[in-house]
Amino acid sequence: MSATRVLVLNSGSSSVKYQLLDMADSSRLAVGLVERIGEETSRLKHTPLAGDGAERERTGPIADHEAALKAVAAELAADGLGLDSPELAAIGHRVVHGGKHFTEPTVVDDAVLAEIERLIPVAPLHNPANLTGIRTAQALRPDLPQVAVFDTAFHTTMPEAAARYAIDVATADEHRVRRYGFHGTSHAYVSRTTAELLGKAPEDVNVIVLHLGNGASASAVRGGRCVDTSMGLTPLEGLVMGTRSGDLDPAVIFHLARVGGLSIDEIDTLLNKKSGLIGLCGDNDMREIRRRIDEGDEQARLAFDIYIHRLKKYIGAYYAVLGRVDAIAFTAGVGENAAPVRAAAVAGLEELGLAVDGELNSVRSDEPRLISPEYARVKVAVVPTDEELEIAAQTYALVGRHG
Ligand code: AMP
């Protein structure tokens, strides 16, 4: 029996999301989530997709990641999908920050763990949790390959001109200050799927990918390789997001500290958690913002307009970076679902060859699809992202051939 299953783990500071996939046909066998790890009210939601598919939920304290992963293993075992199965080929881990070093998925060994640890100063919230997830999984199945799939890897092809900030080079290098970009797994998957949708090879297509979720980023992809992206040293740069400001004059920070008397930590929280859509209008859910706009709410309207203005600026910028654009692809929660965002983002860009067909744009679907009119020179696509499938596929490609 050949091993074709891959368990994908996305470990956060107090949560673990997981999916078990069978790469023989890319099908999902089970999906689930453990939340509020370390609290009294931890919760595990598990949905087996093979049998009756009924969701199971367990509540009660789950002390740490080890306990969480053991609980997940027990749920999978109850479905006959235990982690001890010989059909399990590998565990694929989402790792947020791979720095400059990790340009592709990597089988974890001690040196890899040490490098992920060394990157903690540039990803203080994410990398420690990702490391805990890997170490816990290693303890459960020491014989199994663990693969790290990095959010930054797809962006390591960015030229220096795009990756460097215009600050003193020695200082930047000493502290590893440069633009790394994030959501890379999604940008890779969506740009490739967009090429497929156009019936072309990725090498022959230039795409602007707009990943618009609660976090949001844009990327310019030339012939399958990322040449620019909107997130930088951290996921704070770029587009207006659910709770993050995106781009601003760095002197805003000095001003808030010197004149406003805010501490660095307070400014960090302000810009990452209390800005963006939620800071502008009190809501970060695009559905709620659209509902308020429909009721005539001016604050929600302004938040939407600021969001769209920034988005349009990035479309224009990446158009210029690429020179020739074949398609623009919308993805993630907002990009896949919010037709008004898609319509507004490309409105007025007909001279650039961009247009959206109102009827096609209003169709709801889980499938990748084009929403531009036949005549449009630049195609507009909606491509549901699937980061777990991409992590599983990359993991399997790395270890499957030995399985
Ligand atoms: P993500 O981070 O990709 O899960 O995206 C989450 C965000 O997607 C939410 O905060 C909403 O703003 C947005 N979203 C989800 N569903 C819809 C929808 N049906 N219409 C508009 N926005 C949506």
Residue 1 confidence (pLDDT)? 55
Residue 124 confidence (pLDDT)? 84
> What number of other Cβ atoms are within 10 A of residue 109's Cβ?
10
Q: Is 244 helix (H, G, I), strand (E, B) or coil?
A: coil
Burial (0-12, 13-18, 19+ Cβ within 10 Å), 97: buried
What gap in Å lies between CA 364 and CA 346, rounded to an integer? 19
* Residue 151 falls in the annotated catalytic set: yes
CA of 333 to the centre of ligand 1 (A): 4
Lowest model confidence (mean pLDDT) among 51-65, 164-178, 249-263: 51-65
**What CATH architecture is 200-387?**
2-Layer Sandwich (3.30)
Cα angle 278-281-286, degrees, rounded to a multiple of 5? 65
- For the four alpha carbons of 236, 238, 240 and 242, in that order, the dihedral sign comes to negative
Overall CATH class of domain 5-150: alpha beta
> Is the pLDDT assigned to residue 52 strictly greater than 80?
no
Residue whose C-alpha is closest to residue 11's, from 184, 131, 153, 98: 131
The residue whose CA is least distant from atom 10 of ligand 1 is 285
pTM of the model: 0.94
Among 22, 151, 283, 326, which one carries the catalytic annotation?
Answer: 151
DSSP 315-351: HHHHHHHHSS--EEEEEHHHHHH-HHHHHHHHTT-GG
Cα→Cα distances 344→79, 152, 230, 309, Å: 46, 29, 20, 9
Residue whose C-alpha is closest to residue 231's, from 242, 246, 210: 246
pLDDT tens string 284-333: 999 999 999 999 999 999 999 999 999 999 999 999 999 999 999 999 99
pLDDT tens string 223-239: 999 999 999 999 999 99
For the chain, give every domain's residue range: 5-150, 200-387
Domains 5-150 and 200-387 share a fold: yes
Q: What do you get for the CA distance between the two ends of the chain, in Å?
A: 10
Please indicate whether residue 190, judged by its CB atom, sits closer than 6 Å to ligand 1.
Answer: no
